[in-house]
A = this chain, B = another copy of it.
């Protein structure tokens, strides 16, 4: 491998000149620059990442800590990851992938200066990783919210607003008895923040809109989804509006409703909270509140890069939910209220 000295020699300049041609951190005359550039690609020169990191204290790598457990919303996670990786490249950074159950990985990559910054997904209310990254010298952005986001940078869909929006929409379209079919019990037990935030918004809006709102946890399996639907209809037979916040269970919920002879979009209004592509690939196009997973991943990178450049303060950004009406919802028993 050619080194910067080889390039300097070949171009008849000093090593620092080559370095500055590469970094653009000081003006270089056109002819010099040309000679250096020619030497660079004649030799196929690539700066050595380790040497660069050692000298500059910059790695051009960010860490992404993602839940790699198989089974839970994998496609959605991939959308976040894709957003992060794509945007990182825009900032000339690569992505080091860490898994959730490798908490010691945080120490390793931050302490060992392997990365310039971190993005962490799937934050729980009382997440053990948060104190670790708060103590690290690298800036971190969380996708999701811990209990106390004070002093941290976070980004997520505003799930509380999404809960309110969904209920408000159902209320306005004449529904009086609504229900949430939500995350699997395990997710709730871990107090994963998005699940609880959505429930909070839903309950508060139900109260202020004067609706009854029931909540069912829902295992993502077909049988789990069937059970949730059956329980719901047994205990609250007057329900005419369902909010589904569980991508994996959604198709099974719809199947079960169909099996029971309930026509979605007529007898029952169903609003999904999920990425748009998921909403569109169901048996009928779903009225949904978009979970813009890829965008959130990109915003996370934007935020972490901003903190890396200037001394931006930490901030929490909650993206406003957008509801799009499609074919799975209709007016309820009370009719139009607007």
Binding site for B on A (CB under 8 A): 1, 44, 46-54, 59, 61, 64, 68-71, 74-75, 77-79, 81-82, 85-86, 89, 94-99, 102, 105, 107-109, 111-114, 137, 221-222, 251, 277, 281, 283, 294
Contact = CB atoms under 8 A, between A and B. Distances in A.
A49 B112 contact: yes
Contact of A49 (B53, B74, B77, B251): B53
Number of copies: 2
Contacts of A109: 94
Contacts of A98: 94
Contacts of A85: 68, 97, 99
Contact of A89 (B70, B86, B89, B102): B102
Contacts of A222: 281, 283
A61 to B, nearest CB: 7
A79 B70 contact: yes
Given A95-B96, A109-B94, A113-B50, A74 B74 contact: yes
A167 to B, nearest CB: 29
A112 B48 contact: yes
A323 to B, nearest CB: 22
A79 B71 CA distance: 9
Nearest to A275: B70
Given A221-B281, A283-B222, A94 B89 contact: no
Given A82-B68, A109-B94, A113-B1, A51 B49 contact: no
Contact of A97 (B64, B111, B277): B64
Contacts of A96: 61, 94-97
Contacts of A47: 112
A202 to B, nearest CB: 28
Closest 6 CB pairs of A and B: A50-B53, A46-B111, A50-B54, A49-B112, A74-B75, A97-B97
Contacts of A102: 89
Contact of A114 (B69, B94, B107): B94
Contacts of A97: 64, 81, 85, 94-97
Contacts of A82: 68-70, 99
A277 B70 contact: yes
27 contacts: A1-B113, A44-B111, A46-B108, A46-B112, A46-B113, A49-B50, A49-B53, A49-B114, A50-B53, A50-B54, A61-B96, A68-B78, A69-B82, A70-B82, A70-B277, A71-B277, A74-B74, A74-B75, A81-B97, A85-B99, A89-B102, A89-B105, A94-B97, A94-B98, A94-B105, A94-B114, A97-B97
Residue with the highest number of chain B CB atoms closer than 10 Å, among A44, A48, A52, A59? A48
A199 to B, nearest CB: 26
Given A51-B54, A71-B75, 16 more contacts: A1-B113, A1-B137, A46-B113, A47-B112, A50-B52, A50-B113, A61-B96, A61-B114, A70-B75, A70-B82, A78-B78, A81-B97, A94-B97, A94-B108, A222-B281, A251-B251
